[in-house]
Amino acid sequence: MIKRMNKRILLTAAAALFSANSFAEVTRHALPNNNPFPISRAVEVTPDTTLIFHAGMTPGPVNPDAEKGSREYYGDTETQALSVFKRLEDSFKDLGVDFGDVVKMQVFMVGDPTMDGKMDFGGFMKAYTKYFGTKEQPNKPSRSAFQIAGLAGGPNMLIEIEVVLAKPE
């Protein structure tokens, strides 16, 4: 009788563990003072969450008929960022995740020659806000953005984005 009770207790406990919320436990901390900027101040994930460290992605050509590596080939920062987000979206489908699972983002931008060598943060944000902090996808990652000297793709490649995702189980 005691063995049966212990077995039932163990089976009930195991069932409770396996039927627990199957989504990643993520807590997103908003910026202070109701700041509307579309990032999180910090993001917490539970120890049992699967994290995916996604390699940096660069843009594909916007005009493959243009001279390879030219401004016309890649487009401006906004166009390149949209290309990167599309490439990330395609990769996410293979991994079983989506933009709502992104918990950390690092953005590397090269200074735009048409902007006196300064990064086009505004152009990046136009693309970013189509994917994060929207009614359809309200989650916002913690994020850093940097201006760097260059990317391996050449002088007119202006952006690379890498992300960390918390994968639902």
Q: Once rounded to an integer, what is the mean pLDDT over residues 92-109?
A: 98
Q: Residue 116 falls within a domain, yes or no?
A: yes
Q: Radius of gyration over alpha carbons of the chain, in Å?
A: 21
Domain range for 61 is 22-167
Query: What band does 126 get if pLDDT is binned at 50, 70 and 90?
Result: very high
The answer as to whether 9 is a domain residue is no
pLDDT score recorded for residue 105: 99
Is residue 39 situated within a structural domain? yes
Kindly state whether residue 159 falls inside one of the protein's structural domains: yes
Nearest to 111, CA basis, from 76, 72, 142? 76
Q: For residue 139, give the CATH number of its domain.
A: 3.30.1330.40
pTM of the model: 0.82
pLDDT at 3 over 90: no
Structural domain includes residue 130: yes
For 111, other C-beta atoms within 10 Å of its C-beta total 16
Q: Establish if 3 belongs to a structural domain.
A: no
**Residues 127-150: pLDDT tens digits?**
999 999 999 999 999 999 999 999
In a domain, 14, yes or no: no
Q: What is residue 153's predicted lDDT score, i.e. its pLDDT?
A: 87
Residue 7 within a domain:
no
The tokens 């009770």 sit on which residue? Answer: 5
Number of domains forming the structure of the chain: 1
pLDDT at residue 23, as a whole number: 52
Residues 55-71 pLDDT 10s: 999 999 999 999 999 99
